[in-house]
Structure 1
Amino acid sequence: MQLKHRSILLLIIVKLVTGQYSHLASQNSDLVISLSAVLGAQLVFNLDKIIELNDSKNITWYKGGDDLKRAIFTLVRSTHSYIVPISSRYVIVNQTKLLILRTLVGDEGFYTFEIKINSKNSEYYFYHVILFTQNLSLSISLPSSSRQSTYHAGQQINFTCSISLFADRTFIERFRSTLLSTWYMTIYSHDSDRYELSPLSSNSYSYAANLLNYDLDRNDHNQHVSCMLLQQEFQTTKAILNTSLPTILNVEYKAYLRGNYYFTRSFNSYSLIEINCEEFDGNPKPVYTLIWFLNGENQTLLNQSQHGRYFIENATWHQRGHYMCLAENYLNYRVPAHQSFRLNIWFNAHQIE
């Protein structure tokens, strides 16, 4: 998949009230909540539900968590004046929302929100931003090293879904469990499990989820395969990214009887009767054989035909008997799937010679 410059933002919030700035934001992962957005789109920091501001408090947003030297936005509430030293991408809305109008790569890392209570005390909210790139990729492999585009029922295959991210290295090293418990993937709708993101190497910012040794069956044929990156938000789950394989699964399977089959069929004389052996299915499409049995004799009506429908016009009592349908492809060659039924033809007495 071609890399697109879009990503997801994970924001971790920690509240501290202290007379001096504290480093607990980069030491404690217990007090965290998350917020997501797409890089290149708008990101909203909404403080309405977690704090109450009044006109006597000044607020400042900083880029960083340990060294508050890089203010990105300051609001002096007493004069309603704004200081924006870094970029016009940052906007205050209703005094309790910070908007990043267009998120860019480089927005990853720690952030701090400061509320000045008085000359000696401040209230701090700490964030960390993780950027998930849009290059979510999905691939299929076999437990062996061979590659193929056609599979067989009963065969095992592996699905791998991978993603890259940007984050502060300290956060990744110290709070890896928080990251892995917040973000996970689902792979293929026929499998209901959730898969944890695993780093591809100890120093990697690339992660993958693996569905290993999946047993294919005929129900997987013609199915679309996709994977989805999900975020756990308290009691809800939010879908962030998804991707699909460009082609559907091509799974070959033996011929089999699908649906119901009637072991006795009865018709009035002179009826048009259709015998449908195509009630058997398979991939590749099977060939069909139809055999008629009556009074110890038999007659082949269809012999490995590509078409499995046989018609009896103006049926008479003489065409009663047992009929057997057989279907096979190369996967069950010489061991065809088969089913037989008895055909009754109702007649008038004068029809019997």
Structure 2
Amino acid sequence: MNTTQKKIIISPLNWGLGHATRCVPLINELLKNNFIPIIASDGIALSFLKKEFSALESLELPSYHISYGKNLKVKLLFQIPRVLKAIKKEHKIISDFVLKNKEIVGVISDNRFGVRSNLVHSVYVTHQINVLSGGTTFLTSYFHQKIIKKFDECWVPDNENSEFSGKLSSTKKKINLKYIGVLSRFKKEELTKNIDILVIISGPESNRTFLENKLISEFKNDKRKIIFVLGKVELEQREWTSENITFYNYLLSHQLQNFINSSEMIICRSGYSSIMDLAVLGKKVFLIPTENQPEQEYLSKYLEEKKIAPSSDIKNFTKENLCKLKDYKGLYSVETDLKSDLKSELISFLHGKRKL
């Protein structure tokens, strides 16, 4: 590997796999432009990207260990000291790493607050300029926007009219925002639809396991061809069949792309990265938001009101709900051409010099 090549740290938050998966097209674009990405994260986000890009250097960061229950605001309040400690620690790790490695010219952080450096241009990636939290939305949004302002730029993975993120990314505040279009690791292909229902399960525990058990019970003895992708990034990839359902603990990007393109309908969380992926692939999807996660609850209602995708909370979901799909137009977006739409953004700072 050419040691004279410039390096970029790219660092997704470890909360499910969504932040990590939407970093895949960014990493690929960096590689195409002869930069060397350095992956920095923790947990399953780090494990996933190391499997996708096994030849790349990686850096393990401290975990935020965020969990949530029925009262999200109270739960998060008690976790603030631990999260702030992790943010401070990751900021020191990144700062020291950039200081020691002179070939690093930029940092791209996907929702990791401490991953930035005063020595190089630092970019923050988020679709949540506004952080929904009920009656305290104004406060959580204010603090998030203060964090965003610590970075040189903020990239929003959506169109300028906030087509898919709605009020999450709409703001009149003076923040250095750049809407970079829909980000997806997938390519649309016209394949034979030989999978009736593809269930993609994701998110933090214990919500992930609860959704898995609920949907297994719901589709037990169903005669259709059903595949479950469990979102469990383990040491070895596994496939097994139980009664009428085929299970995979996880799939790499090219495998999941093939399965989605081959499916008649999808069931998944209303996570933003999943929505972008399925929009690029033009799919019919039934959304089940993670309970007590306001962002996903908002997105599912937003898309349902626009007659794009039906949704249900997990407790009220039955397989008969899938009949609603015929009354919704489905997700669709023209794929962002990173070569034209994002290349100028990458080149504008990644070909620059270190600040000091």
Q: For this structure pair, what is the TM-score category when the shorter chain's length is used for normalisation?
A: under 0.3
Structure (1/2) with the larger helix percentage: 2
Structure (1/2) with the larger strand percentage: 1
Compute the TM-score of the two structures, normalised by the length of structure 2. Answer: 0.21
Compute the TM-score of the two structures, normalised by the length of structure 1. Answer: 0.21
